[in-house]
Structure 1
Amino acid sequence: MKTVLIHKITIKEDENHYEGISFDVSEAAAVVTDDLLPDRLIDCLFGLYYKSKRKYISPPTNLLVCESATSLAEKIRNKTVSCEQVVQAFINRIEEINGVVNAIVGCRFDAAIQEAKSIDANIKNGLITDKTFEAKPFLGIPYTTKESSSCKGMRNTFGLIARQNKIAEEDADIVKLMTNAGAILVGVSNMPQLNMWQETDNPIYGRTNNPYDSTRNAGGSCAGDCAAIAAGGVPIAVGTDIGGSVRIPAFMNGIFGHKTTSGLISTKGLTNRTGLEKVTMLTAGTLTKTANDIAPLLKILVDKNVDKLKLDEKVNVKNIQVFYTLETEDLKISPFTPEMKNKIVKVVKHFENNSNIPPQKLDIPEFKFGGDLWRYWIRQEDNVNYARDFTGCTGKVNVFIEFLKLLIGQSNYNIGALLTIFNEKLPIKKKQWIETTTEQLLQRLMSKLGENAVLIYPSAPFTASYHNASVLRPWNFNYFAIWNALKFPVTQVPLGLDSQGLPLGIQVVAPPYQDHLCIAVAKELENAFGGYVPPFDLQTK
């Protein structure tokens, strides 16, 4: 038995046994000594390299930056704080932490302060009323989005040398929607080249570091947004997800990331998208510190499609059927650490003890083909050609020559970009097999989940690894990518920290248009397990 302190709530747990769910200790030990050996060796070697390189972020001097967006919006409405005070607090925090995490790569601080002052003046003059606050739920709330999401007057390089002088001429539709909701853009965030890798690094802005440990991967492609939120730089952000881009960095940075049901949010202005694409897995999503912020932010983004969801419907979580999958048989994915598997087991145990319907294990053979399905469907995207797109549509990358140039430090592309282009050249399974398997998997899931069930699904085999280690285990993102291929809504939920102080988490999956079920379960798990844990000690008097 051991005692664990989580958000000042002391609980006792036995890691090796959960009533109703068996997890053999000897089996776990065998996994550590056998299957996990290659990953342990990778971590050991990378750990030796990064030893003594770690930098730490300082605690915030203003505790306003620890609050949720909805809490801050209510304080502005009640005139407890001013918009200027809120925006200035987060700007100050970005300046405190950005030297360590390198999350925000383009700032509009002066413009943001002026917008905040204008709102304050209109509140004081009575031009902003309760009706205004109802129409603009995030009035005065600062936020960020990726640099690849077009923001008028801001750089829009996608991390590509060929676009290094590119300035956005208009706002992406999601940015317009946020402006209409009263939110204030304070800056744009870092991302991988063309958003296509599991780690955020590019030759324009450099690498984003994990705020929990600066020697660790912050994920991709919304790592800048997620690192900023976790470190207290902004309360919310708007991301995009085509292969885990919202959920991977949300997992690694210990926050909530919601990938919306596909097809509900305009893609215009998002990394070369026109909004007219007929075939795409890309969708915008929400990034928040608390589950309570997800639905209000999602309502803004889905705009006129809000009636297609049930975001205001009350959900009794006790009456939801919970399915769970501990791991798949995908041999390309690393084995799970006992800590990660134990956390999933504890989640299932929570529902076993607190639900009217017992959780059920769901092992579907097609899960192991998630990566294969995604690799096929990413090639069906309208107007996507990576060898062309990585040049800023000015030519075509010769990936083999660029690999040689990379070895002598002369390439315009990093290893993640080149592996992405190379992956486009690799053979994939036949069209008929992929489309048949996709349909079979969809039918199996829909028949099980119906309209009142969710699936607890793994996020990753282990927490954030050292920088560049993802090159040696590139397929671990399959746990995320499968849900893009199927276009299901998913909420990434933080579940505290592991023994190294790095965020743990799981995915909550629901059928299309059942986003509200994901969000309801996310709230339940936040209440049960504590949710987001700051990467710093709060200094309270």
Structure 2
Amino acid sequence: MDKSVWADLKTCLFGIFLFIRYYFDLLIDQIFGFFNDDLKVPIRCPRNQIVNESATALANKIRKKELSSEEIVQAFIDRIKEVNPIINALVDERFEEALEEARKIDKGIADGTINEDDFRSKPFLGVPFTTKESTAVKGQSFTFGLMKRKDIKADYDADCVTIMKNSGAICIGVTNNPEMLLWTETYNPVYGVTKNPYDTTRTAGGSSGGETSLLAAGGTTISLGTDIGGSCRIPALMCGVFGHKPTSHLIPTKGIMFRTEEQEHTMAVVGVQSRFAEDIAPILGVLVTEHADKLQLDKPVNVKSLKFYYIEDPKDPFISPCREEMKSALTGAVNYFGGLCETPPKEVEFKETRYSTSLWKYWIMQEGDFNFNRDITNREGEAQPVTEILKYLIGRSEFCGSTILHFIYDMLPTPEEDWARETTELLSKQMLDILGEDGVLLYPSAPWPASYHHTSFLRPWNFSLFGIWNFLKFPVTQVPMGLRYGLPVGIQVVAAPNQDRLCIAVAKELEKAFGGFVPPYAID
């Protein structure tokens, strides 16, 4: 057959495949919607409007003595008690300890033992924060969602938690995550499912879904997540907040799950989630500690002079086709910067993006001492995938469906090493060539907004729109772009390594233009 004819035939067949896939996805939502739409539980407006403020604003009000730390911490505790029975986000708390820490800070401010130098060295003094349950917080639940760890509490703080505490922030609790984290919905057999505050029949995303659900509902203001395949950004999209995956290897990961030391070659990072773009750089600046000079977060960015690029479709056959509500978010950003910037955004295409799913599969298998079958047993043996799949089918497995799917995923062929490394290197070089030190890439976040609980089992690889930036190790910010049909939509903003400030500056500009975070409740 003539090569051109064969190419046309492949294009035609792929178009038919996408057409069928598009309507199959719609059918899934119609079926699940039929059984779920009458089960929504609304989130009410907070009684105390303190919880609607940014972490930066609250830190300033403590410094100026306009609010006490105790008032602020109590307001967030009260809000958690209002919303957590509905969304199931916080799974362990240290409310009394947090209030006592807040009172000590207030006393120090009142008697002058805490001065301006202290506020400079501790920029979030007295402001509450939360982190996911898989990140060690001394005295808090530390199960990773595993039944074998059900009663385990952390006896130390993860390095990132220590850093956050050293900034003066007060930990008030830890939040839910999927079993062993490797899933796009926050559910596990220990604590159950976390719900989306915009629509409780919908997923909050994963694996930092407990964080973003609580954040969007007004239950926390500084939120630490982790990200190895989109774990900060997927739930940030679903819950309408900002999620920043920073440049790799700048924030310590020791104390996250089984990590007892830093790993040289890892996709995993500690990330920042926030309702307000103004909070991202200050929190990130705290977390990167001695690496702050690499990011130059205080260096001004002239957004108008940046070079903008965009990709509408990475053409990965494992990813569902994007729906109009998500396409319009990307188009809106492209059009906005087209009218604002000196150089209009340029559409680009790299054929290697179509291998995102396969490449992430290769790189997750290269993760340090990562061994899913061993880790899922709490390192007390090694799970037998075929046996566990059969046990699950007859209702006898201790693991949830996402773990069973991961067993199946691991059985699939892993890409050949030379091809995976060469393709990754080529894609990275192509990206670096266009982005340089003054370029950003606008990239789709997901095929649709938050879907019904557990529908991700039927389209498990859509996370690859996020995972690509983990194996490339580029900084990326998930930016909320308003609501469509009552659910958040958004886009990703990508820059070259160590150019995090460009992502953040663009996020601030989009927040100004499109409104940023829209609460899942009416504000009085």
Q: Give the TM-score of the pair, scaled to structure 2.
A: 0.96
1:354-365 matches, cutoff 5 A = 354-365=340-351
Deviations 1:474-522 (A, max 9, x none): 01000000000000000000000012x0000000000100000000000
Deviations 1:363-408 (A, max 9, x none): 1111111111111010001000001100000011122222232234
Contact 2:246 2:474 in 1 (8 A): yes
What SS class does the counterpart of residue 432 from structure 1 fall into?
helix
Offset of residue 31 of structure 1:
11
Offset of residue 35 of structure 1:
5.0
Match of 2:88 in 1: 102
Match of 1:20 in 2: none
1:9-88 matches, cutoff 5 A = 35-88=21-74
Task: Please say if 1:524 is aligned against 2:524.
Answer: no
Runs of 4+ in 1 over 6 A off after TM superposition: 30-33
Match of 1:438 in 2: 424
| Alignment-mate amino acid for residue 90 of structure 1 | F
Deviations 1:444-496 (A, max 9, x none): 01111111000000000100100000000001000000000000000000000
Aligned length: 509
Q: Give distance in 1, aligned partners of 2:272 and 2:347.
A: 28
Match of 2:490 in 1: 505
1:345-424 matches, cutoff 5 A = 345-424=331-410
User: Aligned match of 1:303 in 289, 307, 310?
Assistant: 289
| Alignment-mate amino acid for residue 51 of structure 2 | V
| Alignment-mate amino acid for residue 129 of structure 2 | Y
Deviations 1:200-256 (A, max 9, x none): 100111100000000001011100110011000001211110000000000100000
Contact 2:361 2:415 in 1 (8 A): no
Deviations 1:56-107 (A, max 9, x none): 1111000110000000111111111110000000000000000111000000
User: Aligned match of 1:222 in 188, 208, 216?
Assistant: 208
Task: Please say if 1:170 is aligned against 2:156.
Answer: yes
| Alignment-mate amino acid for residue 499 of structure 2 | Q
| Alignment-mate amino acid for residue 165 of structure 1 | D
Q: Give distance in 1, aligned partners of 2:282 and 2:262.
A: 26
Offset of residue 163 of structure 1:
1.1
What SS class does the counterpart of residue 137 from structure 1 fall into?
coil
| Alignment-mate amino acid for residue 249 of structure 1 | P
What SS class does the counterpart of residue 387 from structure 1 fall into?
helix
Match of 1:478 in 2: 464
Contact 2:392 2:404 in 1 (8 A): no
Offset of residue 418 of structure 1:
1.5
Match of 1:181 in 2: 167
Match of 1:281 in 2: 267
Match of 2:520 in 1: 535
Q: Give distance in 1, aligned partners of 2:405 and 2:222.
A: 31
Q: Give distance in 1, aligned partners of 2:169 and 2:67.
A: 16
Q: Give distance in 2, aligned partners of 1:376 and 1:129.
A: 51
Q: Structure 1's 155 and 34: CA in aligned 2 closer, same or farther, altered over 3 A?
A: closer
Task: Please say if 1:458 is aligned against 2:444.
Answer: yes
Contact 1:277 1:382 in 2 (8 A): yes
| Alignment-mate amino acid for residue 530 of structure 1 | G
Runs of 5+ in structure 1 lacking a partner? 1-29
Contact 1:101 1:211 in 2 (8 A): yes
Q: Give distance in 2, aligned partners of 1:535 and 1:173.
A: 32
Match of 1:13 in 2: none
What SS class does the counterpart of residue 207 from structure 2 fall into?
coil
Offset of residue 32 of structure 1:
11
Match of 1:496 in 2: 482
User: Aligned match of 2:231 in 224, 236, 245?
Assistant: 245
Deviations 1:234-292 (A, max 9, x none): 01211110000000000100000000100111111011112332221111010110110
Task: Please say if 1:234 is aligned against 2:216.
Answer: no
Q: Give distance in 2, aligned partners of 1:289 and 1:51.
A: 27
1:189-204 matches, cutoff 5 A = 189-204=175-190
Match of 2:133 in 1: 147
Q: Give the TM-score of the pair, scaled to structure 1.
A: 0.93
Offset of residue 51 of structure 1:
3.1
Contact 1:260 1:490 in 2 (8 A): yes
What SS class does the counterpart of residue 352 from structure 1 fall into?
helix
Contact 1:32 1:337 in 2 (8 A): no
What SS class does the counterpart of residue 382 from structure 2 fall into?
coil
| Alignment-mate amino acid for residue 482 of structure 2 | G
Offset of residue 34 of structure 1:
5.6
